[in-house]
Amino acid sequence: MRRTTLKDLAEMLQISTSTVSRALKNHPDISNAVKTKVKEAAETFNYVPNDFAVNFRKKSSKVIGLIVPEITMFFIPSIINGISSVLNKEGYHFFILSSNDSFDTEKEHLETCINSRVDGILISLTNETKDSEHLKKLKEMEIPAIIFDKTVPKSIFESVIFDNVKNAELCADKLINHGCKNILGIFGDENLEITQSRLVSFETRIKQFPGIILNIIYCQSADLVKEKLDILLNDDSIDGFFAMSDETLMGLHSSLIKRSLNNTNKKVVSISEGTLPKYLDETYEYQINDGYEMGTIAAKKLMDNIKTLYTDNFIDSNKCYYL
Amino acid sequence: MRRTTLKDLAEMLQISTSTVSRALKNHPDISNAVKTKVKEAAETFNYVPNDFAVNFRKKSSKVIGLIVPEITMFFIPSIINGISSVLNKEGYHFFILSSNDSFDTEKEHLETCINSRVDGILISLTNETKDSEHLKKLKEMEIPAIIFDKTVPKSIFESVIFDNVKNAELCADKLINHGCKNILGIFGDENLEITQSRLVSFETRIKQFPGIILNIIYCQSADLVKEKLDILLNDDSIDGFFAMSDETLMGLHSSLIKRSLNNTNKKVVSISEGTLPKYLDETYEYQINDGYEMGTIAAKKLMDNIKTLYTDNFIDSNKCYYL
DNA sequence: TTGAAAGCGCTACCAA
DNA sequence: TTGGTAGCGCTTTCAA
């Protein structure tokens, strides 16, 4: 279907394209008479500016690339909300690209962003990423970038990160103030910088109080938290828990609930969107409405539609697929 | 910074742009000699095709619009993963647009997608959306679309939804098989179709067993689940729980953990990315690393960078901001 | 096997 | 206040 263009409007109104263009953007040079005339025509003929042409001409895409190491339930929703709230106001949009914690994928995504001429990049680095060498190209290309959350020492771009030291210390203080004497600190992957900085700061603070016993466990995943805790919780003398992140907290949760339910023989059954189950345990039974599966199916159907659009046998259906 | 173009390569090699273009995409007409020559030049001069021009020419953006009613921790991560897994393979990207459960915003996003000439749309409708009238324009414009999860009766596009009836029934069966006699069903917003269909199906199944007592509560939010449960859980005779979604389950969780911790006087303190706290209760103390805040700050910094890029006082800094 | 050239739709410069 | 027009970088048709 051919869409109305500036030229179409110009011909219809017997004026030049430049006049139409300017009228549409309220250029002060244009008389009100012409402006209203043009706008009416644009309205009635359903004129929509072609962003391709505009971008091409202006060399600006109004698109930002968001590259993250992984798509988790803890961080992604809030970060997306935060970013949207700022960008949408300014007329920008953003792609989400997940590196799946692979440095190579991260590099690929960076290329993709460069190729599609994004106006800027927001990036959180993978654990495999050791320096910001691969970001140098962005500097050359003059593509602004901001690193957030996961960064590297002496990065070449501005970055926004959490103050792990301060926060871990504050947490330690809370437990201390509650008078906890036997504390369990639940930490994530031992090899990550983020774990180390939180650990050191938490431990240092606690150690200032000789009367307090501190036990530390490292868990690469929420699953491991559960496993280790199922044993540790038998020690009923633990009176304070510190979870270094939402993920470790979910592991702790799971164990606590399991114990409380096992004592009572109560059953919980749930319909789940597919996100919680991997963080909870077999105490629960789920009927899973898997968002991942829905996403793949919907996307596949869409791809099919797009492909057949260019052939003669375009399927115009309104079928409903049940999962 | 001016980037290398096809024309640049053509001039350097003293051949035509069409030959360069064809050589780069391995067109059979072009001799191998020329192909290698061109490719080498492209490599050394860091040639990157200008997607703006390509899109413009081809009238295809390789971009999909994803419109969702809200960005939640339960559904968004899994749906994004699912969609990415399919689209990225095909060289497509997608924008995420959140309607914030407003029909008007949904319509705006639809306009945005049309204007930016997306190749297709994946959309989950808001609760305010009562029919698919506003989607008709997509048909006119020949923009393929797939509706997922939240849809409306007799929609004009294909849709992918969960089988609520089946899943709620299966959940009922599980509790029945466990021999539960006093069941609490925790449902979400009473006015939503999704709640009603799960409720009817669950209730119908349970009612087939006259010996079972079924209590139903509706909770518009996880907060309300907690509130109501804090009272209900005093009734220790409840031996089976059904949570109709991850969100209601989180509410149940929260109450269960609260009870189990209150009995023991144990304390939990956690550093959180900002997503869990709204689903848990005051039993926990958080030091919040707020992803939302990080997102807004990072995005704002990026906008600043982009804007100053076009002025003379471009800030080339690598400052680090701590939250 | 290669080249010339038109043209996608828009913006912006220069001229009137 | 308006019009003419060049040109963004690429693809593709037609001609050589």
| Domain residue extents for chain A | 6-49, 57-162+292-322, 164-288
List of B residues 42-101 with CB within 7 A of strand D: 49-50, 53-54, 56-58
What share of chain B has pLDDT > 90, as a percent? 33
Q: Which nucleotide is nearest to B16 (CA to C1')?
A: C3
Q: Report whether pLDDT(A252) > 70.
A: yes
- Interface with chain A: mutation pick from B45, B122, B125, B266, highest number of A CBs within 10 Å: B266
Which of B186, B203, B179, B199 lies closest to B254, judged by CA? B186
The integer distance in angstroms from the CA atom of A88 to the C1' atom of C16 is 42
Structural tokens at position A102: 């692979």
Least confident of A81-90, B150-159, B249-258: B249-258
Distances (CA, A) of A209 to A181, A202, A205, A212, B47: 10, 12, 8, 6, 62
pLDDT tens column, A301-314: 988 888 776 554 55
Name chain A contacts of B301, Cβ cutoff 8 Å. 146, 158, 160
pLDDT of residue B315: 58
pLDDT of residue B270: 85
- Interface with chain A: mutation pick from B156, B214, B301, B304, highest number of A CBs within 10 Å: B301
Question: How far is the C-alpha of A3 from the C-alpha of A49, rounded, in Å?
Answer: 9
The integer distance in angstroms from the CA atom of A22 to the C1' atom of D14 is 37
Chain C bases having any atom below 7 Å from a protein CB: 1-13
Which of A128, A80, A74 lies closest to A101, judged by CA? A128
What share of chain A has pLDDT > 70, as a percent? 95
Long-range contact list for A162-165, CB < 8 A, 24+ apart?
Answer: A162/B289, A162/B294, A162/B322, A162/B323, A163/B322, A163/B323, A164/A194, A164/A197, A164/A198, A164/A201, A164/B271, A165/A197, A165/A198, A165/A200, A165/A201
Average pLDDT, whole number, for chain A?
86
- 8 Å CB contact of B298 and A246: no
Structural tokens at position B231: 């009272």
Contacts of B263 (CB under 8 A, 6+ apart): none
Question: Is CATH 3.40.50.2300 correct for B57-162+292-322?
Answer: yes
Determine the average pLDDT of the residues in B75-85: 92
Backbone angles phi, psi at A212, to 5 degrees: -95, 130
pLDDT of residue B313: 53
Q: Report whether pLDDT(B54) > 80.
A: yes
Q: Name residue A307's amino acid.
A: K
Q: Report whether pLDDT(B285) > 80.
A: no
Q: Report whether pLDDT(A6) > 80.
A: yes
Q: Do domains A6-49 and A164-288 have the same CATH topology?
A: no
pLDDT of residue A310: 59
The integer distance in angstroms from the CA atom of A53 to the C1' atom of D3 is 21
Q: How far is CA B195 from the centre of its chain?
A: 21
Structural tokens at position B75: 């559904």
Class of domain A6-49: mainly alpha
Judge if the beta carbon of A15 is closer than 7 A to nucleic acid strand D. Answer: yes
pLDDT band at B296 (very low <50, low <70, confident <90, very high): very high
pLDDT of residue B248: 87
Q: Report whether pLDDT(B282) > 70.
A: no
Q: Which nucleotide is nearest to B47 (CA to C1')?
A: D9
Distances (CA, A) of A39 to A33, A36, B108, B213: 10, 5, 20, 65
Q: Report whether pLDDT(A255) > 60.
A: yes
Q: Report whether pLDDT(A224) > 80.
A: no
Name chain A contacts of B1, Cβ cutoff 8 Å. 140-142
CA-CA-CA-CA dihedral for B14, B19, B23, B26, to nearest 10: -170
CB atoms within 10 A of CB A179: 12
Which of A305, A137, A274 lies closest to B3, judged by CA? A137
Structural tokens at position A42: 């644009």
- Helix B6-13 with B32-44: angle, nearest 10 deg: 120
Residue ranges near strand C (C-beta within 7 Å): A 2-3, 5-7, 17-18, 21, 24-25, 49-50, 53-54, 56-58; B 14-19, 22, 28-31, 33-34, 56-57
Question: How far is the C-alpha of A80 from the C-alpha of A70, rounded, in Å?
Answer: 13
Q: Report whether pLDDT(A141) > 60.
A: yes
The integer distance in angstroms from the CA atom of B20 to the C1' atom of C6 is 18
Cβ-in-10-Å burial (0-12, 13-18, 19+) of B34 comes to middle
pLDDT of residue B213: 93
| Distance separating the N- and C-terminal Cα atoms of chain A | 34
pTM of the model: 0.89
Name chain B contacts of A100, Cβ cutoff 8 Å. none
- 8 Å CB contact of A82 and B293: yes
Name chain B contacts of A298, Cβ cutoff 8 Å. 82-83, 122, 146, 148, 160
Q: Report whether pLDDT(B125) > 90.
A: yes
Structural tokens at position A148: 């957030």
pLDDT band at A205 (very low <50, low <70, confident <90, very high): very high
What share of chain A has pLDDT > 90, as a percent? 32
Q: Report whether pLDDT(B263) > 60.
A: yes
Which residue places its CA closest to the C1' of nucleotide D4? A16
Q: Which nucleotide is nearest to B19 (CA to C1')?
A: C2
Cβ-in-10-Å burial (0-12, 13-18, 19+) of A311 comes to exposed
Query: What are the start-end ranges of the H helices in A99-156?
Result: 103-115, 136-141
Q: Per the CATH hierarchy, to which homologous superfamily does domain A164-288 belong? A: Response regulator (3.40.50.2300)
The integer distance in angstroms from the CA atom of B19 to the C1' atom of D14 is 15
Determine the average pLDDT of the residues in A237-252: 87
pLDDT of residue B305: 86
Question: How far is the C-alpha of B148 from the C-alpha of B152, rounded, in Å?
Answer: 10
pLDDT band at B228 (very low <50, low <70, confident <90, very high): confident
Chain D bases having any atom below 7 Å from a protein CB: 1-5, 7-13
- 8 Å CB contact of B318 and A154: yes
pLDDT of residue A316: 64
Determine the average pLDDT of the residues in B53-67: 89
Residue entry with tokens 């982009």: B306
The integer distance in angstroms from the CA atom of B112 to the C1' atom of C15 is 37
Q: Name residue A7's amino acid.
A: K
Are the CB atoms for A79 and B294 separated by under 8 Å?
Answer: yes
pLDDT band at A261 (very low <50, low <70, confident <90, very high): confident
Determine the average pLDDT of the residues in A52-61: 86
